[in-house]
Chain A
Amino acid sequence: MSPKSTLRSSTIGLVALACLSLAACSNRQNNDLSTTDMAKGALAAIFKREGVKTPDPNALAQQAASILANTSGQVILLAIPSRDAVTVMQEIERNGPYVTFGSSDRRSITLKAGIVTATRGLGNDLLSSDVDAVSAIIRARKVGEAYRVNRYLDGENITVALDPYCQVKPDGSGQVALGEVHTSTTRMLESCIADKDEFRDTTFQNSYQVSPGGRIVQSRQWVSPLNGYIVIQSLR
Chain B
Amino acid sequence: MIGKHLVGVVTATAMIFSAPILAPASDLVTGRTNMFGTPGNLIDMPTAEMAPEGQLTTTISAYGSGSDITTRTTLSFQVLPRLSASFRYSAVSGILSVAGSPNFTTLHDRSFDINYRLFHESTYLPALSIGMRDFIGTGVYGAEYIVATKSLLDDKLRFSGGIGWGRLGSYGSFGSTGTRPTTRLGTGGVPTYNQWFRGDVAAFGGVSWHATDKLTFSAEYSSDGYDREVSRSVLDRKSPWNFGATYKVSEALRFGAYSLYGSEFGVNLSLSLNTREPAVKGGAEGAPLPVAPRPKGAADLGWSTDTTRTTNVKASLSQLLAREGIILHAIALEPRRAHVQIRNTRYDMRAQAVGRTARALTRTLPASVETFTITQMIEGQPTSSVTMSRSDLERLENAPATEILAASTFQDGAETNQGITPMDDAFPRFEYDIAPYLRFSVFDPENPVRYAAGIRAKGEYHFAPGWVASGSVSQKVIGNLDNISLPGPSGLARVRSNVAFYNQSDEPMIDYLTVAKYGRPAKNFYSRLTVGYLERMYAGASAELLWKPVDSRLALGAEVNYVLPRDYDQQFGIRTRATNTGVIPEWNGHVSAYYDIGYGFHTQVDAGRYLAGDWGATVSLDRVFANGWSIGAYATKTDVSSATFGEGSFDKGIRIVIPFSWGTGSPTLQKSETVLKSLSRDGGARLEVDGRLYDKVKDTHRPTMAKTWGKFWR
Chain A residues proximal to chain B, CB less than 8 Å: 15-16, 19-20, 23-31, 33-35, 37-38, 41-42, 44-48, 92-96, 98, 100, 102, 105-108, 110, 112, 117-118, 120-121, 123-125, 127-128, 151-159, 161, 226
A151-B710 in contact given A29-B346, A31-B433, A42-B273 (Cβ < 8 Å):
yes
A227 CA to B636 CA, complexed, in Å: 48
Q: A41-B279, A226-B281 are in contact. List 17 more A-B contacts (CB 8 A).
A: A20-B455, A25-B433, A28-B431, A33-B664, A33-B666, A33-B668, A93-B291, A95-B293, A108-B287, A120-B714, A127-B710, A153-B283, A157-B707, A157-B711, A158-B626, A159-B709, A161-B400
User: Taking CB as reference atom, which chain A residue is nearest B626?
Assistant: A156
A26 CA to B669 CA, complexed, in Å: 15
The smallest beta-carbon distance between A188 and chain B, in angstroms, is: 22
Do A154 and B276 touch (CB < 8 A)? Answer: yes
Pull 9 A–B residue pairs with CB atoms less than 8 Å apart, ordered by A. Answer: A38-B660, A41-B665, A42-B663, A92-B290, A100-B290, A128-B713, A152-B281, A153-B283, A154-B281
Q: Say yes or no for B229: interface residue by CB 8 A criterion.
A: no
We find that the number of chain B residues with CB closer than 8 angstroms to chain A is 67
User: Taking CB as reference atom, which chain A residue is nearest B274?
Assistant: A155
Residues of A within 8 A of B436 (CB): 19-20, 23-24
A155-B435 in contact given A33-B670, A38-B663 (Cβ < 8 Å):
no
Residues of B within 8 A of A26 (CB): 431-435
Do A157 and B434 touch (CB < 8 A)? Answer: no
Contact mask B619-642 → A, CB, 8 Å, 1/0? Answer: 000000111000000000000000
User: Taking CB as reference atom, which chain A residue is nearest B281?
Assistant: A124
A92 CA to B402 CA, complexed, in Å: 25
Q: Say yes or no for B616: interface residue by CB 8 A criterion.
A: no
User: Taking CB as reference atom, which chain A residue is nearest B475?
Assistant: A16
User: Taking CB as reference atom, which chain B residue is nearest A120?
Assistant: B287
Within 393-415 of B, Cβ neighbours of A (below 8 Å) are at: 394, 397-402
Residues of B within 8 A of A96 (CB): 293
Contact mask B278-291 → A, CB, 8 Å, 1/0? Answer: 11111111111111
The smallest beta-carbon distance between B270 and chain A, in angstroms, is: 12
Do A112 and B282 touch (CB < 8 A)? Answer: no
A155 CA to B279 CA, complexed, in Å: 9
Among A31, A92, A157, A226, max chain B CB count under 10 A is at A157
Do B349 and A157 touch (CB < 8 A)? Answer: yes
A95 CA to B664 CA, complexed, in Å: 32
Contact of A120 among B280, B288, B709 (CB under 8 A): B288
A29 CA to B711 CA, complexed, in Å: 21
Do B433 and A28 touch (CB < 8 A)? Answer: yes
Residues of A within 8 A of B278 (CB): 155
Do B290 and A108 touch (CB < 8 A)? Answer: yes
Within 53-111 of B, Cβ neighbours of A (below 8 Å) are at: 54
The smallest beta-carbon distance between A214 and chain B, in angstroms, is: 21
Do A123 and B665 touch (CB < 8 A)? Answer: yes
Do A95 and B434 touch (CB < 8 A)? Answer: no
Residues of A within 8 A of B708 (CB): 153, 156-158
Contact of B627 among A25, A45, A100, A155 (CB under 8 A): A155
A27-B710 in contact given A45-B252, A124-B280 (Cβ < 8 Å):
no
A24 CA to B290 CA, complexed, in Å: 34
A47-B250 in contact given A155-B276, A158-B626 (Cβ < 8 Å):
yes
A105 CA to B253 CA, complexed, in Å: 34
Do B432 and A33 touch (CB < 8 A)? Answer: no
The smallest beta-carbon distance between A34 and chain B, in angstroms, is: 8
User: Taking CB as reference atom, which chain A residue is nearest B713?
Assistant: A127
The smallest beta-carbon distance between A209 and chain B, in angstroms, is: 24
Residues of A within 8 A of B433 (CB): 24-28, 31
A151-B398 in contact given A16-B455, A26-B433 (Cβ < 8 Å):
no
User: Taking CB as reference atom, which chain B residue is nearest A48?
Assistant: B250
Do A226 and B668 touch (CB < 8 A)? Answer: no
Q: Say yes or no for B292: interface residue by CB 8 A criterion.
A: yes
The smallest beta-carbon distance between A134 and chain B, in angstroms, is: 16
